[in-house]
Structure 1
Amino acid sequence: MRGKRILVVGTGYVGLTTGACLASLGHRVVCSDVDAAKVERSSRGEIDLLEPGLADMVRDGVAAGRLEFAVGSARAAARSEVVFLCVPTPMGAGGAADLRAVEAVVAEIGDRVPRGGLLVAKSTVPVGTSARLARLLGRDDVGVVSNPEFLREGSAVRDFLRPDRIVIGSDDPAAVERVAALYAAVDAPVVRTGAASAELVKYAANCFLATRLSYVNALAARCERAGADIADLTAAMGRDHRIGPEFLRPGPGWGGSCLPKDAAALLRVAEAAGTGFPALRAAIDSNARQRARMVRKVAAACGSGPARSLRGVRLGLLGLTFKAGTNDLRDSPALAVARALAAEGADLTACDPALRPGSAGVGADVRLVADPYRAAAGAAGLVLLTEWPEFRSLDWRRLAASLARPVVVDTRDHLDPAVLRRAGLRWRGVGRPPVDPG
């Protein structure tokens, strides 16, 4: 099959990864954005996103003439056979998905897409959006298809080129097959379905994962009360083939750019339809409690006086991004816990491998430094909030010597308690027995 002429609208995580990967598969791709400065940087191969392999793939695509960048979408739409919508659908009023960016793109390019073209929604959109877009287009010569993305930050390129599945949905079977052909070089099962099912599957998958994480965090709290070890518990659970080992690690709560907004959107739609979704509501509420529980855990380990107050207590923080391998702070549980600690009066100094002093989005409540040893100096404790691999190999004896109190609160159960014990540190994890030196 010859490569198709494709327009990808939006150059965030989803759009840039989609465009670069489709170009690597042999298609001729234009990625458009409204940010002229970003388009200029991308054209030079300068990528703002911390995503393994993506910058090289962009540079390769540009050098080969298969990938280019443009400001605005109308001109490129007029010469594209397929248009992928990869614009944000953030949480709107009451939790519903905000589709204004999607609708604005359709209004801009609707009359420019050639006859026989395809409009493919890769943005996460609620059920009924394909039908809504078809009405906005007002054209029966352009097919509308839902092709949801399942990209994880930190492994987006791998997830695109080696996915668990490719989901394509439309009420027009011929349009489904045309989109499936774009992925012919990708070795993955293709799930062909109707538009409504394809639109719902992304919400269903993300909300299941969110519920699973909330369940594990609740189990971790129970383990602490019962004297059990969540690591042993989840190891046994994960060996059950009906459960599996993934998403069974406790932490400071779930977050990021997808799970919170998708959970809120699905809950809003379910409640508006009168069906409700009690399990999902419980998962969201449990997640909020988990973040508050981490603050109480830090106060118990590092606070001063009988009330274990954090007012004026200096704390070092390890990690602020929502997960390791990314520089994304959107709805980061690590940052949420940090801000809650600041609200309790703690004096916070943080280090994150993906951030530099002055990084946008951190806020004034947290002083950001480039060196974890500076974050620890004189602190009443260290709080690990993001599971960066490099934190495992820190010089823990040096850190123990620089801390005012030798305690580490590990909200990810990421560190080796035995290593910290040998360094003379007290280790406090989530759902696991405390470890003290001796």
Structure 2
Amino acid sequence: MPSSPRPVVPRWKELLAVLSLALAGLIWLSGLVDSLSRPSVAPALSLQQQELTLLAEPKVPPPLRDALLGESPRDALLKALEGIALEDRSERQKQILVLLQGQGSALADLGGDVGDPLLQQLQCEVSVSDPSLCIDGVEAGRAAFRLAFSTVLPLVTALLGVLLLLGQTWRLLRGRLLAWPEVQGPDLTLIDMALLVAGGFVVISAVGVPLVALPLVGALTAGLGSPRREAVGVVINYAVMALPSLLILWRQVRALPKQRAPQGGWMQWRVRPVLTALLDAVAGWLMVTPLVMLTGWLLVRLVGDPGGSNPLLELVLGSHDPIALGLLALTAVVLAPLFEETIFRGALLPVLATRLGPLVGVLVSGLLFAMAHISVGELAPLTVLGVGLGLVRLRSGRLWPSVIMHGLWNAVTFVNLLLL
């Protein structure tokens, strides 16, 4: 990044930055505390995977049964349902529990609907002497494929990531790692970053979403049913949240002297060469996956499931509408990576790395990235992900690989949710 004498920062700008930081801290702290009251999607994911396991059991090859099925799928699902408080069980869960207990005659009292494959199979089993007659081979095969993909893909990804991490560690110890390029980015100050992230991303968005997005969502979705109404709301809320930060960053960068911009521009997008960007993104995704998984596992082992999952995950899990899922995928896989990488790795990280050092810059930008998601349960894993995205940005010397890596991470997560 070009060196230049720092202009004197107006006093009002400093005060505004301090006020923005204070308000952003209060908003984030309040949001993190409130997230503790939000339910975690982990129990729902676990329950759906157990249902999928029971449905897939007939089509899982014997050599893979221990790896994919574990203990008896029927007993595991029965135990999980019995562990849910009676008042918290849905009607469908009550139906499945009754059928697993062999009390099919009680199903009519619950007003049950046997329209899905698992309920059909269980209802059939309590009415015939040979349960094998109740197996729907097509549905069981589909369930087996979904179960294998959602189970094997994370394991293969983690294994490849560990191998890449070991390779990188070996090169580091042998002094064979290639030198990273010079950090380049917008020639802005820490005051500018406080105004951008705290003022624009947090404070203005916290005011703008309720004042602008909510009435707009209400007007545009008045004739829509659920879940399309919620999906359209997600897109509009995200757009309203992103716009203030992008406008502030645009004005900040526009004020910089164009003749002093580094090659590739202030934001260092540098899309080409595309293949190298893809390779950097995939390598970064593979290496960060086992670290995020390990962090999540340690978090559950040490403190239990803290809850507070992203509400978007619940929408994806509960939606079967293609249009709603398409809008949610657009937000998660395209809009979020473009916007968040522009702010956190395009602007914030280079400024922090230049003034505080690369290591501090990566750590601080990763932590702020995690806090921006306002979820206690995801704070530690998202910090690790943010650090990984930051390292890819610095190692590649451009922004595009971290955008692709972010989109890839969200896409794989989205697909796994759909499979369950």
Shared topology, TM-score over 0.5? no
TM-score (normalizing by structure 1): 0.24
Larger radius of gyration: 2
Structure with more strand by fraction = 1
Structure with more helix by fraction = 2
